[in-house]
């Protein structure tokens, strides 16, 4: 157990729907990162939050949004889902905002859009 | 901007043979470098990291990596492969500014 908890582990939904993925960071970590992993795109950085504030944005679609709550857990919202959104979504956390210590990853949420 | 290139998307070795996974990076600032391993249906696990303290970094499971600034490389090695080493390996680069940038990954197969 890495200490980073992601729920749900699996999600199957239809095109056009909206889903929410949840992440609880490791105790003491203030930064949360979201990554999308697919066969053709590899690991793509989506967004980073640090202590409740958006810190960095990557290749995140406008249909996707995220937030980090006061208790530091984070949610990634995916709307108007398309077949191409099927992927593994990872959450990671770190103590600092900088990418100097590495991250601790959760086990991911596998999203299948049908 | 920073980037990472992993040479070879698939590497196959025999059990007991040397493992060498190649990673080259590009960075305009002193980099922080990482190797992660991903077993099937699991998240990424940190193998080792370079943070400028020593150029030869030892990690878990017998892996090590050497930072070579002149070659902008951070190759991962293990003297003797085990079947349990079969997994996908990712090299990543980071800096003081924020997020890690990951390479495309190298899938390691170990033949008996």
**What mean pLDDT, rounded, does chain B reach?**
92
Each residue's pLDDT tens digit, B56-101: 999 999 999 999 999 999 999 999 999 999 999 999 998 776 788 8
pLDDT value, residue A37: 93
What is the rounded CA–CA span in Å between residue B58 and residue A15?
46
Which of A58, A102, A103 is the best substitution to test chain B (most B C-beta atoms within 10 A)? A102
Contact yes or no for B80/B104 (Cβ under 8 A): no
Q: How many CB pairs under 8 A join A and B?
A: 67
Contacts of B104 in chain A (CB under 8 A): 42
Contacts of A25 (CB under 8 A, 6+ apart): A3, A4, A31, A32, A72, A73, A74, A91, A93
Each residue's pLDDT tens digit, A80-114: 999 999 999 999 999 887 777 789 999 999 999 99
Each residue's pLDDT tens digit, A25-65: 999 999 999 999 988 778 899 999 999 999 989 989 999 99
CB contact under 8 A, B98 and A99: yes
What is the rounded CA–CA span in Å between residue A35 and residue A58?
9
pLDDT value, residue B28: 81
């Amino acid at each position: 157990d890495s200490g980073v908890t992601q729920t749900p582990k699996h999600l199957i939904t239809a095109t056009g729907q909206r889903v929410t993925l949840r992440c609880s960071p490791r105790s003491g970590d203030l930064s949360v990162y979201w990554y999308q992993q697919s066969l053709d795109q590899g690991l793509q950085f989506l967004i980073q939050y640090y202590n409740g504030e958006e810190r960095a944005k990557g290749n995140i679609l406008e249909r996707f949004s995220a937030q980090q709550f006061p208790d530091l857990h984070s949610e990634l919202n995916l709307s108007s889902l398309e077949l191409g959104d099927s992927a593994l979504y990872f959450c990671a956390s770190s103590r600092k905002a900088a990418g100097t210590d590495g991250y601790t990853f959760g086990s991911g949420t596998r999203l299948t859009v049908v | 901007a920073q980037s990472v290139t992993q040479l070879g998307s698939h590497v196959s070795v025999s059990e007991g043979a040397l493992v060498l996974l190649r990673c080259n990076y590009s960075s305009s600032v002193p980099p922080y470098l990482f190797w992660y391993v991903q077993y099937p249906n699991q998240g990424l696990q940190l193998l080792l990291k370079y943070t400028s303290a020593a150029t030869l970094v030892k990690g878990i499971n017998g892996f090590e990596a050497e930072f070579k600034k002149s070659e902008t490389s951070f190759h991962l090695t293990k003297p003797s492969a085990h079947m349990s080493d079969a997994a996908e390996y990712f090299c990543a680069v980071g800096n003081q500014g924020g997020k890690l940038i990951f390479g495309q990954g190298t899938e390691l197969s170990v033949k008996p």
